[in-house]
Amino acid sequence: MLKQWTYVEVEQIYQQAMTELVFQAQSIHRQHFNNHEIEPCVLLSIKTGACPEDCKYCSQSGHYKTALEKEKLLDKEAILNKAREAKESGAKRFCMGAAWRSPPEKEMENLQDIIKSVKALGLETCVTLGMLNANQAKQLKDAGLDYYNHNLDTSKAHYPKVITTRTYQDRIDTLNHVANAGLKTCCGGILGLGETKEDRINFLLELSQLDKLPESIPINNLIRIAGTPLGDAKVIDNIEIVRVIATARIMFPQAMIRLSAGRKNMSDEMHAMCFMAGANSIFLGDKLLTAENAGDNRDQLLMAKLGLSLETA
């Protein structure tokens, strides 16, 4: 039977002494994962910009003037070339993101073909395409898709301050369609959106209350994009990020916890703390969708320094 967390229980975990919090998280982590392995993934933007949503953190929103140049959906061969490069770099999973409110019906057949072709390379597949209806979720499952990413982003209470063009319930509905189709769920959030500690605790609590627990939880550190409303947001304290990761590991012992956006400016020491707290996946490459990422050379050096290994596909 799944644990039914309460706010008080999550708060007690989150607020305890850092040494005890990280010790508990690492102890649980070792029960379910090899503590020396970090799963490598690659994320590619397959359709960039001109999104009708108004997410205040996003360079791809059509509501804001950023330096981003919009691009149409990439053709299949261009995507497959990137997927082959990802596999050669050691990636286990190839993730594809498209800046849509929801995938156009006219593109569904093409998307299914792309997923099948990436799967044929021997890679796990994940896509994030916006909101889905039940039939679209089934079509993606039939194509062999492994994971669908659709983040809650933040707490339900803070959400309207960040996004107004779709509701929190819209996100829940898509996650339910994904679960009902038999797809694995990748669902996490972004830290540094102006949220409070209480919002961060509630975000984790709300993740635990989904009808189907996520198998993958990306934790993103906001990349502040000039031209977006959150372009000058206050930088979140690193210790808060570690607390979120450690609490997530305790609450979701079998989930992959992905240290996602914002790693480029993280120190080696901060990376080490996140891995000690239970993060066990990163995205490789110099770019994460449209933002700068840490880069393969740095990651290889970091893994060597920490005595960790990037799990191969």
Mind telling me the catalytic residues?
Answer: 51, 55, 58, 95, 126, 186, 258
Place of tokens 């605790």: 201
- Supply 121's token pair: 């390379």
Sign of the alpha-carbon dihedral angle for 263, 268, 274, 275: positive
- Per the CB < 8 A criterion, the answer to whether 59 and 291 are in contact is yes
Distances in Å between the alpha carbon of 292 and those of 279, 286, 289, 296? 20, 6, 8, 12
What's at 200, amino acid-wise? R
Distance CA 212, CA 177 (A): 11
Distance CA 121, CA 139 (A): 20
- Per the CB < 8 A criterion, the answer to whether 234 and 195 are in contact is no
Pairing of strands 287-288, 291-292: antiparallel
Distance CA 313, CA 147 (A): 16
Distance CA 21, CA 56 (A): 32
| HSE toward the beta carbon, residue 258, CA cutoff 13 A | 27
